[in-house]
Structure 1
Amino acid sequence: MSFLLPTLLAFGLPLIAAPLVIHLINLRRHRRIEWAAMDFLLESQKRNKKWIVLKQLLLLLLRTAAIAAVVFMLAGPVIKSTWAGLFGRGVTHHLLLIDDSYSMTDHWDETSAFEQAKRVVAAVLEQAQGRSENQLVTLLRFSEARRLAAGAGPEIDRRPLDAALLAELERTLGEMKASETNAGPIDGLQAATRLPEAVEGETRIAYLVTDFRRPQWEEQAQLQQLMTELRERVGDLQLVQTVYDERPNLAITRLEPESGIRAAGVETWMELTVANYGKTPVAAVTVAVEQDGNRLPAVEFDEIPAGEKATRRFRVTFPTAGPHELTAGLESDAVLTDNKRYFAAEIPPVFPVLVIDGSANGDDGYYLRTALSPGGKNVGGWNPQVEPPSYLRNHEALANYAVIVLLDVPRLDDAEVEVLESYVRSGGGLAIFVGPQSQQPFYNDQLFADGAGLLPAPLNVPSQLLRDPSEAGADVRVAEHPIFRVFAGQRNSFLSVANVDFYYALDPNWKIPESGDVSAIATLRNGAPLALEKKFGEGRVLLHLAKLAPTPTDQGIWTNWSLNPVFPIYANELVGYLSATRRRFDVRGVDEPIKLALPEAAYLPEVKVRAPGVGESNATPIVAAAKEGVYEITAPGQPRSGVWRFELTTREGKPQVRYVAVNVPTGEGELAILPQSELAERLPGVEYRYALASEFTKADDELEGYQLGDAFLYALAAILIFEQLLAVSASYHPAAARSAA
C-alpha cells in the first residue's frame, strides 16, 4: 500500500496516542477515599474485573482506530494492483507536461535538456507498461498550450497504454524536437487545469518536466495558484528538472533599421543587438552578416558585460528595388536557436514626400526639395513633391506619402487639420517649420488645441535672438537625437556656423508636460526651445521654430540653417526619422501566423509558399480566397524562424516574390536556473515530489492501483457506531426508579 499524501501520516499518526493520553490524565485526577460500603463494591469488581478491563481495552482500541482511519483516509491510500481485484478495478492516468520551449535545446556532453525530458517520458512509459490495471496517457507540450486555449485538445489525450500507443509514442519521441517558442510553465499549467476532471476510481499522476529557468518562474503568485489547482486535481505531482548546471549563452535580440528602411541604392544603417546571458563578460564577439545570401563584413563587439546587451551599427545598401533579406548569426554556444536573427523588406525605388510650402516666394520648398533630391549621382531615395496648402484637400492621396512637411503655412481649414491628425495618428510623420507667414491664433487654437492637437507647444510671437559679444558659443545646442547625429562629435564645427537671428518664442506660461509625449530636442543659447518632438498616436510631429530658408523678411533673415554644409544630411535624417513608422518591414514572431494580404484586382489567386530551407520544388501551392476584394494568405504548417517566400503572379502575368522574416522571441536564452530551495519557497503549501532527470526513477508505481479513501470512510463509520455501542455497554446505567403506586 502507498499513499498520495504521505506527509499527512507523519503529522497524523502521532494523534493515535491521544485516547491513551487522555485516559492516563483522567486516572491522575481520581482521589482514593476509603469508606465501609466500598468493600462490597470492591468485592463485586474483583469478580467482574476481567470483563470490565476487556471492554475498556476494546473501547480504547476503537477510539484509537477511529483516529487512525481519519488519518489514513486523508493521506489517500492506494492498494497495489495485486489486491485491487478485492475492491474493484483501478485506473492510473499519467499526465505528462513537457517543456519544449527553446531553452530546452541547451546541450552538453552529447545530450540536451530536451533529450533528458524525453528520457523521463520513456521511463514513465516503460514502468507503466504491462500493469494489470488500466493505464491512460496524456502528453501535453507547453507549445500546445495556446492551441488548447482555443478549445482543442492534446495530440495524445487519455489514450489507453497498449502496444499501438507505445509504438506511436516511441516514434513520436524519436521525431519530437523542442519548439522555437518561449512557452513557459504558466502556459503548460493553465492548459493542464483546463483538462477534464479525473473520473471515479482514477488515480491521476502529473509530471512537470522542465528546465526550471528563473525568468519563467518570476510570476510567483500566479504559479502558486496554478500549481495548487493542479495539485488538487491529481493524486500525485512530480517536478522533474532536466538541467543541472548553468551555461553561458549569447543571443541576437535585434536586427532592424535604425530609422526605418531606405530606398533602393541608398545606404541604410542597421542596428544589431547581442545579449550576454552569462555570468562573466565576453570579449571579441563576431557576428556574421549575410545580405541576400552574400557575405558582408562581420560585425565586431569588443566586449559585452555579464547580463547586459550591446548594440552596434553597420551599413547596408539594397542595390535594387524589390524583396531583400538579411541574416545575422553568432557562433555555436549552449542554445543555438537564438543565435540567428532575420530581416526582410520590400525595398521601393523611392519614397514620396509631400512638401506643403506656404512661404511667400516658395523658397522654403526649394531648399528642402534640393536637399532631398539633388539630382545627378546623389541618390537620396526621396521623391519630394512640393504643393500649395490646398493640396491637402486630396484626403485619400495623403496615405501614399512617407512623410508630410508644412513650411511656413499660414493656416488650414478644419477638414485639412482633421485629415492631418488622422494621418499622424495612424503612424505618419509630420514636420512643421514656422515662419513669418504662420498665423499664431490658428496654430494655437486649431493645431495646439490645449495640448490635444498636433502642435507640441503653443506659440507666442516672433522674437530676436540677441547676442552678447562677450559670450562665446554656438547659437544652437542639440540633444542626442537621430536627426542631429551629423552634428555629434567634439571636433564637429557645423553647429558653430549655424546662425539664428529670429525664432518663434513659445507661450511663457507653457511647460513641457510630465507625460513624456513632448520633448525639446534642440535649444538656443538663451535656453529657448528651437525644435520640439511630440508623439501623436502611432506617429510623430516635429516642430522647428525658425524659418527654413535664408530669405530676407520684414524682420530680417531668420536663419542660415538651410545653407549649412550638412543641411542635406540633416534633411535626409529628418525625413527618414519621421517616416520610419510608415516604412514598415515584414518581420514577425514564431508565435503568430504568417499572413499576407494582397489586393484581388492586382494578383492572381494562385500562390506558392516556401518555408525556410525548402527548395523551389517543394513549395506549397495555395489558391487564395478573396474577401471584400483582398486575398488573405496564411502560410501552412507551424511558423518557424527564417525567411519565408511567397511567390505571386500579377494579373498581367508578371511573377513577384514577397519575403517575410520570422524570428524567435527574445529572453528565452537566459539560462539562469531556479534552485530547488527557492522553488520550495515559491510554492508554499503545494505538495510535490522533486527529482533530477538523471536520477529519475519511476517510484510512482507505488501510487498505481485502487484508491482506498472511500473504504476507510466506510470503516470509520462502522468503528464509530461500534464504539458508541461498546461505550454504552461498558458504562453504569442505574434502573429508573419506579413511581409509588
Structure 2
Amino acid sequence: PAFDLNTDAVKPYPCVVLLNVSTLPAEAIKALQDHVRRGGGVWIIAGDKTDPKSFNASLFADGRGLSPVALGDITGDPRQRERFDRLRPPPVNHPATRLLADLDRLDVNDVRVFARFRFSNLNEQQRSSALLATNQGEPIAIDKQIGRGRVIVQAMPVDMSWSNLPICQAFVVMVHEWLWYLAEPMQTRWNLTGGDTFAASFVPDEYGPIAEVATPGGERIKVASTDRDGRRWFRCGKTLWPGAYQLVLSEPQGGERAIPFQVNRDPKESELTGLTETDVRALAEHGGLRFDGDPLGTKSPGRPGPPEPMWMWLMIAALAVLLAESALGAYLARRRAATPVDMASDSTTTVTTAAAA
C-alpha cells in the first residue's frame, strides 16, 4: 500500500513501481524522492484509479516533483476496441528502448492503444525523446533523471483494459529493459575496464567495515568503507591491471567471503601499428631508447616453406623402374634373336659321337 512507503521501506529495493495509484501521502513522496536521488528508480504507471489533480499536485508539483510532465484528460474509450492508436518505432539510441526498436523481431507495430492520459507541460525535447509515443507523436512514456536515479512515467496501465500491450511479445522485453534501466544506477558493476573505480554497497551489519581487494598479481589492498544513504560502500580505484580480482569481506561470525569481479583488457591494445621514422627518432632522442635493425649483424634465416609431398617422387621412381625393366627385357630379347645356330655342325658331332660309342 502507498501509506507503507517510507524511507526505510524503499531502501532495500533498487526500483519501485507505482501501479495505478490514486493518491500518495507526503511522507511517501519524500521517501521516493530521496530514493531516486540516491540512485533508485521509480516507474509511475497511470490507470483508471489515478487522479490527475492529485498526481499533478504531488508528483508533478509544477516541475519540481518526480514526474517530468503533468497529466491531462483521458483520450479514447477503452470500450470501443475498433478505435485505437498505434505506436511509432521507439528510439534506437536510448538504452531503455534499444531492444524495443528491433521491429524485425518484436511486434511493436501490433500494439493497439484504446485509451490513455494526455501529457501536458511538454517541451519539444520531451516529445522527440519519448520512450513510447503514438504514430501522431503523442508521448505515452517519458523518463527523467533526478540526482543519480531515474523516473519513468507511463500514461496507460499494463493490463488489457486500455491496450493489448500485455499480450504482445514486446511487453516482456519492455518490462525487463525498463526495470533494468531504472535499477542500473544502484547496481554493482562486476565487469570493469582498466582504471575504473570498483564500488559495491551492502547492508551495514552484513559485513565488517574493513575489506581487502585481491589483485591478479597476488597483492591484497585494504579498503575502508563509508556509510552513506543507509548502505556500506567499499570503493577501490587500483584497477589498472586486467584480470580477476576479489573483494574479500569479513563476516560477523569471523569468516571471510570472497566476491570476484573482473577488469577487462582494453580492446585498443590489440590495435598495433608500426612506428614511423619520426616516432623512432623521437623515442631515441627523448626516451633514451636504441633501435638496432640487426643486433647480431647476421641476417635471420628466412622462414622455411611448406614441405613438399613425397608421393610424386615415389611415383616417378616406380615409373622409372618399370621403364628400365621393360627396356632391359627388350634388349635381352633382341640379343637372343640375333645369335645364329649351326645345325650341321651340331648333327655331325652327334653322329660321330654315336659311332665311336
Q: CA deviation at 1:454?
A: 1.6
What CA distance in whole angstroms lies between the structure 2 residues aligned with 1:517 and 1:529?
Answer: 6
Deviations 1:99-122 (A, max 9, x none): xxxxxxxxxxxxxxxxxxxxxxxx
Deviations 1:377-418 (A, max 9, x none): xxxxxxxxxxx11121x3212121121111111111222212
* Equivalence map 1:348-363=2 (5 Å): none
Matching residue of 2:116: 503
Q: Determine which of 508, 512, 516 is the counterpart of 2:123.
A: 512
- The verdict on how the C-alpha distance between 1:674 and 1:428 changes in structure 2, with shifts beyond 3 A counting, is farther
* Equivalence map 1:241-256=2 (5 Å): none
What CA distance in whole angstroms lies between the structure 1 residues aligned with 2:106 and 2:184?
Answer: 26
Q: CA deviation at 1:529?
A: 1.8
Matching residue of 1:643: 244
What CA distance in whole angstroms lies between the structure 2 residues aligned with 1:631 and 1:558?
Answer: 43
Stretches of structure 1 that go unaligned for 5 or more consecutive residues are: 1-387, 551-556, 677-689, 699-741
What CA distance in whole angstroms lies between the structure 2 residues aligned with 1:597 and 1:468?
Answer: 48
Matching residue of 1:399: 11
> Quick check: 2:127–2:137 contact (8 Å CA) kept in 1?
no
What CA distance in whole angstroms lies between the structure 2 residues aligned with 1:463 and 1:636?
Answer: 52
Given residue 512 of structure 1, which amino acid in structure 2 is its aligned partner? Answer: N
Asked if 1:541 is matched to 2:151, the reply is yes
SS in 2 for 1:651: coil
Deviations 1:649-690 (A, max 9, x none): 4123444112343457787879799997xxxxxxxxxxxxx9
Matching residue of 2:258: 657
> Quick check: 2:196–2:237 contact (8 Å CA) kept in 1?
no
What CA distance in whole angstroms lies between the structure 2 residues aligned with 1:648 and 1:609?
Answer: 9
More strand by share: 1
Matching residue of 1:444: 56
Matching residue of 2:179: 575
Asked if 1:463 is matched to 2:80, the reply is no
Q: CA deviation at 1:434?
A: 0.9
- The verdict on how the C-alpha distance between 1:613 and 1:517 changes in structure 2, with shifts beyond 3 A counting, is farther
What CA distance in whole angstroms lies between the structure 2 residues aligned with 1:494 and 1:559?
Answer: 12
What CA distance in whole angstroms lies between the structure 2 residues aligned with 1:640 and 1:523?
Answer: 45
Deviations 1:525-550 (A, max 9, x none): 44322222222222222121112223
What CA distance in whole angstroms lies between the structure 2 residues aligned with 1:602 and 1:634?
Answer: 17
Asked if 1:489 is matched to 2:103, the reply is yes
What CA distance in whole angstroms lies between the structure 1 residues aligned with 2:184 and 2:225?
Answer: 30
> Quick check: 1:512–1:519 contact (8 Å CA) kept in 2?
no
Q: CA deviation at 1:566?
A: 4.7
Q: Sequence identity of aligned pairs in percent?
A: 22
User: TM-score with structure 1 length normalisation?
Assistant: 0.32
* Equivalence map 1:66-465=2 (5 Å): 388-392=1-5, 394-464=6-76
What CA distance in whole angstroms lies between the structure 1 residues aligned with 2:213 and 2:124?
Answer: 49
User: TM-score with structure 2 length normalisation?
Assistant: 0.62
What CA distance in whole angstroms lies between the structure 1 residues aligned with 2:106 and 2:212?
Answer: 52
Higher mean displacement: 532-541 or 396-405? 532-541
- The verdict on how the C-alpha distance between 1:645 and 1:477 changes in structure 2, with shifts beyond 3 A counting, is same
Given residue 571 of structure 1, which amino acid in structure 2 is its aligned partner? Answer: V
Q: CA deviation at 1:462?
A: 0.8
Matching residue of 1:529: 139
Given residue 390 of structure 1, which amino acid in structure 2 is its aligned partner? Answer: F
What CA distance in whole angstroms lies between the structure 1 residues aligned with 2:227 and 2:130?
Answer: 45
What CA distance in whole angstroms lies between the structure 1 residues aligned with 2:73 and 2:281?
Answer: 75
Q: Which has the larger radius of gyration?
A: 2
- The verdict on how the C-alpha distance between 1:443 and 1:419 changes in structure 2, with shifts beyond 3 A counting, is same
Q: Determine which of 428, 450, 475 is the counterpart of 2:86.
A: 475
Given residue 99 of structure 2, which amino acid in structure 1 is its aligned partner? Answer: R
What CA distance in whole angstroms lies between the structure 2 residues aligned with 1:409 and 1:518?
Answer: 27
Deviations 1:473-512 (A, max 9, x none): 962223135447356334754532x3222111123xx332
What CA distance in whole angstroms lies between the structure 2 residues aligned with 1:628 and 1:566?
Answer: 40
Given residue 44 of structure 2, which amino acid in structure 1 is its aligned partner? Answer: I
What CA distance in whole angstroms lies between the structure 1 residues aligned with 2:106 and 2:233?
Answer: 51
Given residue 447 of structure 1, which amino acid in structure 2 is its aligned partner? Answer: L
> Quick check: 1:641–1:663 contact (8 Å CA) kept in 2?
yes
What CA distance in whole angstroms lies between the structure 2 residues aligned with 1:517 and 1:673?
Answer: 50
- The verdict on how the C-alpha distance between 1:521 and 1:565 changes in structure 2, with shifts beyond 3 A counting, is closer
Matching residue of 1:611: 215
- The verdict on how the C-alpha distance between 1:609 and 1:569 changes in structure 2, with shifts beyond 3 A counting, is closer
Deviations 1:220-248 (A, max 9, x none): xxxxxxxxxxxxxxxxxxxxxxxxxxxxx
What CA distance in whole angstroms lies between the structure 1 residues aligned with 2:162 and 2:144?
Answer: 24
> Quick check: 1:487–1:495 contact (8 Å CA) kept in 2?
no
Given residue 657 of structure 1, which amino acid in structure 2 is its aligned partner? Answer: A
Deviations 1:444-470 (A, max 9, x none): 22222222322122211111169998x
- The verdict on how the C-alpha distance between 1:535 and 1:657 changes in structure 2, with shifts beyond 3 A counting, is same
The higher relative CO (CA closer than 8 Å, separation ≥ 6) is in 1
* Pairwise CA RMSD: 4.4
Deviations 1:40-79 (A, max 9, x none): xxxxxxxxxxxxxxxxxxxxxxxxxxxxxxxxxxxxxxxx
> Quick check: 2:127–2:138 contact (8 Å CA) kept in 1?
no
> Quick check: 1:517–1:535 contact (8 Å CA) kept in 2?
no
Given residue 500 of structure 1, which amino acid in structure 2 is its aligned partner? Answer: V
SS in 2 for 1:485: coil
What CA distance in whole angstroms lies between the structure 2 residues aligned with 1:390 and 1:673?
Answer: 68
SS in 1 for 2:260: strand
What CA distance in whole angstroms lies between the structure 2 residues aligned with 1:697 and 1:448?
Answer: 61
What CA distance in whole angstroms lies between the structure 1 residues aligned with 2:215 and 2:193?
Answer: 14
What CA distance in whole angstroms lies between the structure 2 residues aligned with 1:437 and 1:428?
Answer: 25
